[in-house]
Chain A
Amino acid sequence: MSDEHLHAPTGAYALDALPDDERAAFERHLRDCPACAQEVRELTATAARLGLAAAGAPPAGMRERVLAGIGTVRQLPPEVPADPAIPGAPQVRAARRLPRLALAACLAAAAAFGGIAVWQHQVADRAEERADRSVAEAAELARVLAAPDARTASGELKDGARATVVVSRSRNQAVFVASGLPELPSGKTYQLWFADGGTMRPAGLVGADGALLMRGEVGAATGMGVTVEPAGGSDRPTSPPLAVMALPA
């Protein structure tokens, strides 16, 4: 790949205009490219100026709500030891043993932290990368986990990897939590599917361990599957599934 190709995404990255998979790939590249990192810092600061130019008056009452809100929010400590091997595993155990709300809080915290690392990419590591997929998604994800009708199914993938699916039929959404996923060669990605009768609907890409809000609605799906696909995903599975799980009713 030429330099031009590698550096070209700095603008799209600074504008949050890269799709998740390309974003993750570019963040990996950034760790080894100080010149790109510098350019990203400058272009991110430039994008922020575009944001400042859009300033508007917040609605009445927002100040009071936020100031009252922080009184109940615990602050995160400055340093987080990054051990890529660990984060997934406790989450899956949590899915089985802890109340759902506790799990939701853990996941939201993990994702929120990752979100901050998005532009402070020098500290990016695999754990943050997967967590930072989206901060807003974490809130969405937490709502699924906290839904009164959330139901869980767990299964083995292979090589000791485990997967848990949490389904809320009322929200029509599902969360996929993986741990111990073997790293794939470049150009490959894990892809999730909803199984509707005999057909498989794409439900998002998974790069590594962690929790992910599955794309699309659960709808009438009775099962879900995981396959390995070319980077960017496929419209329909092109390889035999690593796992197929029945979704809780």
Chain B
Amino acid sequence: MRDPVRLDGPGRGGPDLPEVMARVADGDQDAFTTVYDAVSGPVFGLVLKVLRDPAQSEEVAQEVLVEVWRTAARYRPELGSVTTWVMTMAHRRAVDRVRSEQAAAERERRTARRSHTPAYDQVSEEVTVRLESEQVRRCLRTLTELQRQAVTLAYYRGYTYREVAAALSAPLGTVKTRLRDGLIRLRDCMGVSA
């Protein structure tokens, strides 16, 4: 069952799951099992990448998956694939967890940020190398250095663009723009449509 990436929509060699989701919305628990098997690996992996802590990541991943069940009727196929819907929820929840903890420990965070600054390039590098998808790795390599670091720090670390700007010592407006043109370049490289 470990091949979840294939489930993501057109051009990736497999159908998406909208009709299964319709059954989930009707309360079909077997249909939910199908969705679970398709998305649980990506959901857990992404949450873990952002949060780092396995126990906390499991908690958040479980919340996301139960949320998929609970809100299945709110999924709107015309707005995107099931996997996009689920991964968007997963990322948002992981990021929310990061930020609520940051808010509670603002001072420590500032200290940590200072002491970790030299390692950012390395971190971004490491994130890229460890990704399982060859296509995503290849496309990330087509970005400029600043685009790649900005996108990976924002997405895989859950940084706000302001935090990204601080980490990379770049102006806020520049970072906002790089996040956009970096993603646009990735979109084109991966042939994503919506």
Contact = CB atoms under 8 A, between A and B. Distances in A.
B45 interface: yes
Interface stretch (A44-52, A160-168, A222-230): A44-52
Interface in B15-64: 25, 27, 29, 32-33, 36-37, 40-46, 48-49, 54, 58, 60-63
Nearest to B69: A70
A147 interface: no
A59 B2 CA distance: 13
A113 B67 CA distance: 9
- The binding surface of chain B is classed by DSSP as helix
A53 B136 contact: yes
Contacts of B162: 19
7 smallest beta-carbon distances between A and B, as pairs = A11-B180, A56-B45, A136-B96, A11-B179, A134-B96, A53-B133, A53-B136
B84 A56 contact: no
A213 B102 CA distance: 13
B96 A137 contact: yes
A216 B104 contact: yes
Interface string B149-162: 00100111011111
Among A7, A70, A112, A215, which residue has the most Cβ atoms of chain B within 10 A? A70
B175 to A, nearest CB: 8
Interface stretch (B108-116, B117-125, B186-194): B186-194
B170 interface: no
A55 B132 contact: yes
Contact of B92 (A16, A42, A71): A16
A113 B73 CA distance: 11
B161 A17 contact: yes
Given A48-B87, A51-B91, A57-B44, A139 B36 contact: no
Interface string B66-94: 11011111111001110111011111111
B165 to A, nearest CB: 10
Contacts of A125: none
A134 to B, nearest CB: 4
Given A16-B158, A57-B2, A116-B71, A8 B33 contact: no
19 contacts: A16-B95, A17-B179, A43-B184, A50-B155, A50-B156, A51-B90, A52-B87, A53-B136, A54-B45, A54-B131, A55-B42, A56-B44, A67-B32, A69-B66, A75-B27, A76-B74, A118-B92, A119-B80, A213-B100
Contact of A45 (B43, B80, B100): B80
Interface residues of B, number: 91
A46 B154 CA distance: 14
A216 B109 CA distance: 13
Contacts of B151: 11, 15, 50
Contact of B194 (A15, A44, A57, A115): A44
A136 B100 contact: yes
B187 A17 contact: no
Contacts, number: 258
Contacts of A65: 62
Contacts of A47: 87-88, 91, 155, 183
B105 to A, nearest CB: 9
B79 A76 contact: no
A140 interface: yes
Contacts of B164: 17
B93 A135 contact: yes
A136 B61 contact: no
Contacts of B183: 10-11, 14-15, 43, 46-47
Given A49-B192, A113-B74, 18 more contacts: A11-B151, A12-B180, A15-B154, A16-B158, A17-B160, A41-B194, A44-B88, A48-B84, A51-B42, A55-B41, A55-B46, A56-B48, A57-B2, A58-B58, A59-B44, A69-B66, A112-B70, A217-B104
Contacts of A10: 180, 183
Contact of B71 (A15, A38, A112, A122): A112
